[in-house]
Amino acid sequence: MLRTRNIAAVLACLLIAVLAGCGREGSPPVKGPKAGELPQYTVDTAFRLPESKTWTKAKKRGHLVVGAKEDQPYLGEKDPATGIYSGFDIEIARMMAASLGFEPDTIRFRTIASANRETALQNGQIDYYVGTYTINDMRKKLVGFAGPYYLAGQGLLVRTDENDIKGPQDLAGKTVCSAAGSTPYQRIAADFPEADLVAYDTYSICVDNLLTFQVDAVTTDDAILLGFAAKAPDEMKVVGKPFSEEPYGIGVPRSDNALRAALNDALEANEKNGNWKKAFEATLGLSGVPAPKPPPIDRYPSN
């Protein structure tokens, strides 16, 4: 098989070469958080957490494995060319890693699809998960949540020339796109039945549809929408007040209460020392939104 693969690789490269003249070094310029402008977090090298199985295993392994999203600009985005993750969620993950005593170069990010988050945590594929993960009671039965570290709410993304839609009440007769089966989708379906709903498997298809005039609005958590709007501010904007509350938490294995407590402490400390604000301003803040006050941490009892 190796041979066929080589041949195919050569053929593909040839084709690309014909199209473009093979191989400029580096990667295409991107908007988004610049590597140099991101805050540095001091690594707490003396940190020990022997009660946490996850922490002990990661320490022995020598690196942390963090679950994230790859297609949410300014939150959790993977540069297709370099494979580097960036965004607010990623900053939170790095902040936490520093507090847990892991050097920045010992964090490995892994894209985990929404549907697989619980499984990935349950069977130890990842140590913790930071990626627009809304805390709710159903999920609390499956995983543990540190945080919340951010309070998002459902919002609407429209084209800049759209003036009729100012909130969910204006959606009657308009086509609205959201991710299939997601909570925002079901909320619109239940509360605003006059809206014409369209569903796709990812938000990036929804945004694409918005730009090609297939739909009039995209709805999901405002944080996600802000990230998209910031990428193309001339074409898209976020409108109206958020009409739900989505507290984002850090997912940890359910049994690992020690890790959850440690992450809660770390979040609190970083919110106090200004790191949280710096991280926000270097990422989501670039969309022009001032840093909000972080939500109070919910140290719910374990059972």
Q: Which is nearer to other proteins, 173 or 181 (CB)?
A: 181
Closest contact distance (angstroms) between CB of 42 and other proteins is 31
Distance between CA 262 and CA 144 in Å, rounded?
12
Closest contact distance (angstroms) between CB of 238 and other proteins is 15
Q: Which is nearer to other proteins, 121 or 252 (CB)?
A: 121
Helix (H, G, I), strand (E, B) or coil at 157: strand
| Phi and psi angles of residue 68, each rounded to the nearest 5 degrees, phi first | -150, 180
Q: Which is nearer to other proteins, 155 or 294 (CB)?
A: 155
Evaluate whether 153 touches 221 at the Cβ level (below 8 Å).
yes
Q: Tokens 């580096």 appear where? A: 26
Q: What is the DSSP string of 182-236?
A: -HHHHHHHHH-TTSEEEEESSHHHHHHHHHTTS-SEEEEEHHHHHHHHHHSTTTE
Closest contact distance (angstroms) between CB of 187 and other proteins is 11
Q: Which is nearer to other proteins, 174 or 277 (CB)?
A: 174
Q: Which is nearer to other proteins, 22 or 291 (CB)?
A: 22
Evaluate whether 122 touches 128 at the Cβ level (below 8 Å).
no
Kindly give the pairing relationship between strand 143-152 and strand 246-253: antiparallel
Distance between CA 228 and CA 183 in Å, rounded?
19
Closest contact distance (angstroms) between CB of 140 and other proteins is 12
Nearest Cα to 248, choosing from 117, 101, 62, 86? 117
Closest contact distance (angstroms) between CB of 214 and other proteins is 5
Q: 24 exposed, middle or buried (CB, 10 Å; 0-12, 13-18, 19+)? A: exposed
Q: Which is nearer to other proteins, 125 or 257 (CB)?
A: 125
Closest contact distance (angstroms) between CB of 159 and other proteins is 13
The contact set with other proteins (CB under 8 A) reads 1, 4-5, 8-9, 11-13, 15-16, 19-32, 70-71, 73, 78-83, 111, 113, 115-116, 119, 123, 138, 180-183, 186, 198-202, 204-205, 207-209, 211-214, 228, 231-232
